[in-house]
Structure formats: C-alpha cells, structure tokens
Chain A
C-alpha cells in the first residue's frame, strides 16, 4: 500500500505569514493528490485536487504544487480562520491513503 507522510505534524505562525506544508508519497502517484482542511469540531473540506487545482470557492491564498512523490500546500498569507488541521490524500490508490495531518496554529 502507498503511504503518505506529511511534515511538519504541527506548526505555529503569525497572521500574514507564508505557510508551507509538505506531503510525500512512498511511491509515485502522478498528480492524484488532494488537500483537505479540517477546522476544530468540523468535517473535512476539500481545498485542492489534482495536486494544484483549487476547488471552487476556496480562497486564492491556498495553492498546491508537486507531482510524483513530493507535494506542497502553501498558504500565501495566513489568516485567523485558517486555524485547522490539513490532510493530504492520494485518491487513485486502493486503499486511498491520507497523510497524518498538519495542525496549523496561529501565534
């Protein structure tokens, strides 16, 4: 099975900071990668699919990049409402694995 490894597991940043989260696949997955945001006590929400395609309605400060085994989620200017845990997922595998999550806190 493919494994997805996220780093860091948590981070703390100030409002306005640029934040980068990485996700590494244990083998090449082309661009079959999605990013989800889960706010405390809420269900996950799709942010990005196909590694870099922004889901409709998602603020443009979120962006994704990468292909193969290495991927990044970038928040260009962190906002207070971005407090959440972020998960990557390879969606073209069986089973479709999630990364362990990155908890983003606001300083």
Chain B
C-alpha cells in the first residue's frame, strides 16, 4: 500500500524553527518528485514547495511566501522527505501535507496523486 506519514508538527513561537518529516512506503520513493502543501485553519490549499528526483538533480522550487525561510530536502536511502522551517510566522500556522507527484505519460505534466494525512504546525506566542 502506498503511504505517506508526516511527523514533526507542534507548537512553536514566532521566529522559531521546526523540521517536518515524511516517511514514504509502498513505492519507489527515489523515482518521484515530492511536494509539501499546507492548509491554514478554515482555508484552502496552498502549495509550499517541491523537490525533483535524482534524475533531475534534486532541484527545488518554493512558494514566494516561504522562499528563503523554508528548505525541502530528501533522503532516498531512508525514503524520507523533509521540510525545514525557519523564521516562522503566525501565518505559517497550518496542516502540512506531504504529497507524491506522478508524471502523466501523455502530457508530461506532474500531478499530485497521493497525499499524507498531514501534521499540524501552530506558530503562536
């Protein structure tokens, strides 16, 4: 069974740091692009960032709202994805989802096909 399990969420003060982890199982993790998507309380979905696979040099992209503060990394040997969050702001409070990308053979685009259950990050003093 394909599964993504996030961990590491919690309560942190503004300006603080937190590292989220995502453990993957049931598929060849190293082949896939991976994303983080977040959802603030009562709000919609917001893409946070992406890491590509080794074949694409593990390149990363970030939303403007987190660029320079958040860093995505991965360890293919551990089938794990990470999100290092620094200089946290109250507006970063959200459920953070780890998401697998899959390539559409026909169009070449990468869409999000498997989502974890999420981990909650609360930034508050």
Q: Which residues of B contact A (CB under 8 A)?
A: 37, 44-47, 61, 63-64, 97, 104, 106-107, 109-118
In the bound assembly, the distance between CA atoms of A81 and B44 in angstroms comes to 20
Chain A: interface secondary structure? loop
CB closest chain-A residue, reference B98:
A43
**When A95-B61, A97-B47 are in contact, do A49 and B111 touch as well, CB less than 8 Å?**
yes
In the bound assembly, the distance between CA atoms of A99 and B45 in angstroms comes to 8
Please tell me if the beta carbons of B118 and A91 are within 8 angstroms of each other in the complex. no
In the bound assembly, the distance between CA atoms of A98 and B99 in angstroms comes to 14
Please tell me if the beta carbons of B110 and A87 are within 8 angstroms of each other in the complex. no
Residue of B44, B63, B111, B112 with most chain A CB atoms under a 10 A cut-off: B111
Please tell me if the beta carbons of A45 and B44 are within 8 angstroms of each other in the complex. no
Please tell me if the beta carbons of B107 and A50 are within 8 angstroms of each other in the complex. yes
